[in-house]
Every structure is written in structure tokens, then in C-alpha cells.
Structure 1
């Protein structure tokens, strides 16, 4: 990794809840509410934004662990802000704390662990 990434660094994404983010199984909507799966996707995306500027050309980040707590629901058109903050960095992994807020307050929180690996290594593992 390139130097510069530090504990406390933050990345943020904002999204509006859309129908494709609803809780559903096999294409059938269960609740017209922001799904836990969508929350996890957005938490990983915000965490990935933290590492992207620091990856070397031959490196890539991969998800290695997730902790997620879905605290409250959000309906269609709710505005969400997802903030990832670096809380730990060791050798080749980055741990970020992530908070998800809507207009009313916190609706989710968790941690995302990313491992930084050579692309060649990843390719060998996937072959």
C-alpha cells in the first residue's frame, strides 16, 4: 500500500433507498424497507473507498470479516449516509467502523475488515 492511510480517516457515501434495496428473497419483496443485505453492501462500499487511493497497481482489497447490527428500518426514498472510519491497521489488513444514518438517526453500525493482497495471489486462489 502507498503511505498515508491513517487511523481516524473517513469515507462517506450517500444513497436514497430504492425498491431494489428492499428486503426480498427469490425476487419476492418481504418488506418495503431497506434490507440488511443492502446495508452490508453500502458499508463495504464506504470502507472500500478508504483504501482505493492507497492501493498499489498490483494490489487489491478483499473483504475478510463483517460485523453488522441493523438497528432500525428505513423506507423507500429515505436518505442514508454511510460513514466508514479506519479504527485499526495491521500489516495487510484494514478494519473500519461503519455507521449508517437516515434522517431520524442511526439505523445501523458495524465493522468491515479488508485484507490487502497482491492481485496475482488472488488470481491463484480463484483458479
Structure 2
């Protein structure tokens, strides 16, 4: 990983809650609000945006762990703001804390861990996993 990524560095992202982001299983809507699965996806995505500029050409990041607390609901059409901040960084790992808010306040928080590996290692892991 390239030098320059530092503790305290942050990235923001804004998302509008869409119908496909609501809590549902097998096509059945359980609650017509922003799902935990969608929140995890967006937490990983905003955290990845911190990592991308620091990857070497032969490296790639992979999600390794996510912890999340889904605190409050947010309906379709609402705007979600995410902010990921670096709390730990090394040559092979990045850990971010992520806060998720809407117009009413915090709706989620958590941590996202990514590992940095050579692309060949990841390709081999994928090859083995898809046999």
C-alpha cells in the first residue's frame, strides 16, 4: 500500500434510500425502510473509497470484517449521509469507523476492516472458492 493514508482521514458519501434498499427477504418487504444489509453495503463502499487511492497497481482490497449497529429507521426517499474515518492503518490493513445519519440524526454506526493483498493471491482465493 502506498504511503499517505493516515489516522483521522475521512470520506463522506450521500445516498438516497430507494425501494430496492428496504428490508426484504425473497422479494417480500418486511419493513419499508433502509435495510441493515444496505447499510452494511454503503459502509463498506465509503470505507473502500478511502483505500482505493493508496493501492499499488498489483494490490487489491478485500472486506475482512464489519460490525454494525442499526439504530433507527429511514424511509424511502430520505437522504442518508455516511462518513468513514480511518482509525487504524498498516501496510496490509485498514480499519475505519463509520457513522450513518439522516435528517433526524444518527441511524447507524460501525467499523469496517479491509485487508490489502496482492491481486494474484486474491485471484487464487477466488479460484479455489468457485471450484
TM-score, length basis structure 2? 0.95
Equivalent-residue separation in structure 2 for 1:119 and 1:97 (angstroms): 25
Q: CA deviation at 1:65?
A: 0.7
Structure 2: 5+ residue runs without aligned partners? none
Equivalent-residue separation in structure 1 for 2:125 and 2:53 (angstroms): 24
1:88 paired residue number: 88
Q: Deviations over 1:84-103 (max 9, x none)?
A: 00001134100000000000
Please identify runs of 4+ aligned residues in structure 1 that moved more than 6 A: none
Structure 1: 5+ residue runs without aligned partners? none
TM-score, length basis structure 1? 0.98
- CA-atom RMSD in angstroms: 0.7
Equivalent-residue separation in structure 2 for 1:46 and 1:22 (angstroms): 19
For the pair 1:18 / 2:18, whether they are aligned, the reply is yes
Q: Provide the aligned length of Structure 1 versus Structure 2.
A: 127
